[in-house]
C-alpha cells in the first residue's frame, strides 16, 4: 500500500519529467502531477519549495528532489 505523498512539478515538453512519472507508474505509486507551464501559482510554489526553476521537481513526503534521480526517489520511498 502506498502511504507516500508524491507530487511532481513538470511541463509537457520535459523528457525528464516523463521519466520521473514513468518511474512512479512502474512502481505503482500514485502521484499528483502539476504542470507548472499552465499554472503560474504552482510554478511560484515550486520555486519557493525548491529554489529552482527547472523541472522536474519531485516532492516525496515534504522532501524535495530536483531532477530525475531514481536512487534518491527509492531512498525516500523505502
> At which residue does the C-alpha cell 504542470 appear?
35
pLDDT score, position 76: 95
Residue ranges, the chain, pLDDT below 50: none
Helix (H, G, I), strand (E, B) or coil at 49: helix
Query: Of how many residues is the chain composed?
Result: 78
42 in any annotated domain: yes
Examine residue 66 and state whether it is found in any structural domain, yes or no: yes
Q: Is residue 21 part of a domain?
A: yes
Domain count, the chain: 1
Examine residue 45 and state whether it is found in any structural domain, yes or no.
Answer: yes
Phi first, then psi: what are they for 60, rounded to 5°? Answer: -120, 115
For residue 3, the model assigns a pLDDT of 84
Q: What are phi and psi of 73, to 5 degrees?
A: -60, -50
Does residue 15 lie in a domain region? yes
Is 1 part of any domain?
no
H helix runs in 1-78, sequence order: 15-26, 40-50, 70-77
The grid coordinates of residue 26 equal 512502474
Amino acid at each position: 500500500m502506498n502511504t507516500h505523498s508524491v507530487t511532481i512539478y513538470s511541463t509537457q515538453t520535459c523528457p525528464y519529467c516523463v521519466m520521473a512519472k514513468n518511474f512512479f507508474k512502474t512502481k505503482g505509486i500514485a502521484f499528483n502531477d502539476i504542470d507548472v507551464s499552465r499554472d503560474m501559482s504552482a510554478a511560484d510554489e515550486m520555486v519557493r519549495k525548491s529554489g529552482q526553476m527547472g523541472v522536474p521537481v519531485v516532492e516525496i513526503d515534504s522532501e524535495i528532489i530536483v531532477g530525475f534521480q531514481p536512487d534518491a526517489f527509492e531512498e525516500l520511498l523505502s
